Amino acid sequence: MKRSIFVLGFLAFLTACSGGGVAVGPNGEPLARLYRIGAGDTSRVQFSLLDGMNSLRRVSGVAPVQLNSQLNAAAATHSRDMAIQNRPWHFGSDGSSPIDRIRRVGYTGVLIGENISETYESELETLAAWMEDPNTRRVILNPQAQDLGFAWFQEQNGKIWWTLITGSRSTLEADLQG
């Protein structure tokens, strides 16, 4: 219980430090705000999420992950596809699965998991929300994960379609033989 409170507090701290503080109205409820990602913000946003995720993994005693360009490409493709479909789900408009998408970009490792979200929130707020759910938290903290793909598509109205993919560099053949 203490660890969960610490982790959520830590994410709130990271969000505040990244300029993602939440303004509250007179009723105490958060005010709606638009989080805009500029064309030159890709590295900042990806490394912000990577640092936050690796901090959570470190607190949990799990090795860090590193960004992988192939998984980033698969995540970007899926984020755009979810926006086109106008629904957050793990299947592409062509019926593709996360495994299909990582193979298409040439990733030879093993898929660990995929988290998706449709929101107006920042990357760290989205990470905090994923940590609240046991299924998406398992993808983030899975000790087998070594690689991270993280991307998004932002609509004109500000809605962001986030995709996070984790993988392991072990090959399918090694897994089957092991």
State pLDDT tens for residues 127-138: 999 999 999 999
Give the least confident one: 5-9, 89-93, 163-167. 5-9
Q: Between 104 and 38, where is the model more confident?
A: 104
* Tens-place pLDDT, residues 93-120: 789 999 999 999 999 999 999 999 999 9
pTM of the model: 0.79
Average pLDDT over residues 148-152: 97
Beta strands in 75-146 (DSSP E): 110-119
Give just the sign of the alpha carbon dihedral 40, 42, 45, 50: negative
